[in-house]
Chains A and B, each alone.
Chain A
Amino acid sequence: MNRCMQPRNGAMPCPGPMPYMQPQNCPGQVLAMAYVPMQSFQALYEPCEALKNGTIFSELNKPFLGWKGGCRC
């Protein structure tokens, strides 16, 4: 076992490995650079729907679906 993986004295061992997913790179991306695509003024909700969803932009309506380090799906 790699020494880095050994629990310290008194520390609880990790309950188990998390499922690992190989990250996918897009063409042209370089390491250590984060980016946010520029948004366009489109796909708007009507004001009543916007208030319910917390955004006027349907493209930004991203309900949180994560659960305990994974996906609910």
Chain B
Amino acid sequence: MLNQNMNQEKMLQWINEVSFAVTDVLLYLDTHPDDVDAMNYFNHYNMEREKALNLYASQYTPLVLSSTEACNHWNWVTDPWPWEGGCK
């Protein structure tokens, strides 16, 4: 579960976990579009994902365009990506 005390690596791991959960339940919902439990699961983890992405963007660097803010510097392109050591 997301909390303010997570370090960058833990937060990125949590984002990967909830992103995977959301993506996997999408496949289930494709064949079960009226399953309320699955929709609740989707809503819960999709919200957790959004929260984590926004917190990560505010503390470190944006991972998706929807959490990017264009101010006086376009850090989307200049900050290191996780695979470039941005998580170390």
Contact = CB atoms under 8 A, between A and B. Distances in A.
Given A50-B24, A56-B24, A39 B32 contact: yes
Q: Say whether chain B's binding surface is mostly helix, strand, loop, or mixed.
A: helix
Given A41-B35, A41-B38, A47 B28 contact: no
Interface residues of A, number: 10
Contact of A41 (B14, B21, B28): B28
B32 A41 contact: yes
Interface residues of B, number: 17
Q: Say whether chain A's binding surface is mostly helix, strand, loop, or mixed.
A: mixed
Contacts of A44: 41
Interface of B: 13-14, 16-18, 20-21, 24-25, 28, 31-32, 35, 37-38, 41, 45
29 contacts: A39-B28, A39-B31, A39-B32, A41-B32, A41-B35, A41-B37, A41-B38, A41-B41, A44-B41, A47-B14, A47-B17, A47-B21, A47-B45, A48-B13, A48-B17, A50-B17, A50-B20, A50-B21, A50-B24, A51-B17, A51-B20, A51-B21, A55-B24, A56-B20, A56-B21, A56-B24, A56-B25, A57-B24, A57-B28
